[in-house]
């Protein structure tokens, strides 16, 4: 190019990064609770709806409080803004979640979290393809390193427990891709109506979709006579795996942007792996160690290269 574009270095926002990190860590507990519930014989649709049954009242209360206290955001709520926010929420918290829940019925919690961990790559690619971002070619080797790590663990699973592996991998990759697209779209809605209001609208809509799906497939009797442990898993998924991390992640994303927020996800797989080994008894072999190390190193390299490109 004949001209040079000089961009200002974006100052580090520790609060924004802190919220994003807390969101990533809490989201990482989701797979553990899902696997425990599957072990108790719960269907994917019922479990997803239980998660949303717990979360929905909380979001509705917060939605009412935000609308009552924030005149600025209330004035911005046109019919179009509400409908778009609802659609984006369905994409990020219903479609993406459903694909992830389905994938966890085929693969381990550790592997699921590592596959989801590649969603920053989709964030970058979708930004380039659809939202006018420039391609950062220096991150390509980092992406290759992370996917090489996934291939190591995929190969081990293929030799030991191949049944359902490909289907589970594709489902979780689909979840990562849809969540990456959601992040770009959500950022634009949060500029208009704020992070809290958007989160409440999007999550409430997604919750209604999940509850409606289970009612259509299994009917109201599916909720009757569930043992307390199932409701406990639903409570944990609703609060620890949904409400708190969704607000933390969206507040962080509103402060530092989708691409920067996605780079904080490195904490998630470490927490998931530790919990999966200790609670679920999942194996952690040298192949898992090598594959995990490659995925984490690739993602950290990716985040560093991506931040450097933004500051250049």
Tens digit of each residue's pLDDT (9 = 90 or more) over 245-296: 877 877 887 777 766 676 666 667 878 888 899 999 988 889 889 988 888 8
pLDDT at 265: 65
Half-sphere exposure of 202 (CA within 13 A, CB side): 34
Domain range list for the chain: 14-311
Residue 161 structure tokens:
């427990």
Radius of gyration of the chain (CA): 20
pLDDT digits (tens, 9 = 90+) for 202-229: 999 999 999 999 999 999 999 988 899 9
Contact 279, 36 (CB under 8 A): yes
**Predicted confidence band of residue 14 (pLDDT cuts 50, 70, 90):** confident
Span 170-201, pLDDT tens digits: 999 999 999 999 989 998 898 888 888 898 99
Integer Cα distance of 292 and 282 in angstroms: 14
What is the rounded distance in angstroms from the CA atom of residue 262 to the CA atom of residue 177?
A: 12
């Amino acid at each position: 190019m004949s001209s040079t574009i000089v961009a200002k270095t974006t100052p580090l926002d520790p609060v924004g990064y802190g919220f994003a990190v807390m969101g990533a860590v809490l989201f990482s507990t989701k797979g553990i609770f899902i696997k425990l519930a599957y072990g108790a014989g719960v269907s994917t649709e019922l479990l997803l709806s239980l998660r949303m049954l717990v979360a929905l009242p909380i979001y509705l209360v917060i939605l009412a409080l935000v609308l009552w206290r924030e005149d600025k955001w209330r004035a911005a709520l046109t019919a179009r803004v509400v409908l778009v926010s609802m659609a984006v929420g369905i994409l990020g918290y219903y479609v993406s979640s459903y694909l992830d829940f389905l994938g966890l019925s085929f693969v381990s919690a550790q592997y699921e979290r590592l596959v989801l961990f590649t969603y920053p790559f989709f964030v970058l690619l979708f930004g380039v393809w659809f939202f006018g971002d420039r391609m950062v070619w220096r991150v390509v080797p980092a992406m290759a390193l992370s996917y090489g790590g996934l291939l190591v663990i995929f190969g081990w699973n293929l030799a030991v427990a191949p049944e359902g592996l490909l289907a589970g991998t594709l489902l979780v990759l689909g979840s990562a891709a849809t969540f990456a697209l959601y992040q770009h779209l959500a950022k634009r809605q949060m500029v208009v109506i704020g992070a809290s209001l958007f989160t409440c609208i999007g999550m409430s809509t997604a919750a209604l979709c999940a509850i409606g799906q289970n009612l259509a497939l299994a009917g109201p009797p599916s909720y009757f006579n569930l043992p307390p442990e199932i409701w406990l898993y639903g409570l944990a998924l609703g609060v620890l795996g949904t409400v708190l991390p969704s607000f933390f992640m969206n507040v962080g994303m509103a402060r530092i942007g989708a691409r920067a927020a996605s780079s904080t996800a490195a904490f998630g797989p470490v927490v998931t792996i530790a919990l999966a080994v200790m609670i679920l008894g999942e194996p952690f072999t040298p192949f898992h160690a090598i594959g995990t190390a490659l995925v984490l190193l690739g993602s950290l390299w990716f985040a560093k290269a991506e931040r450097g490109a933004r500051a250049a």
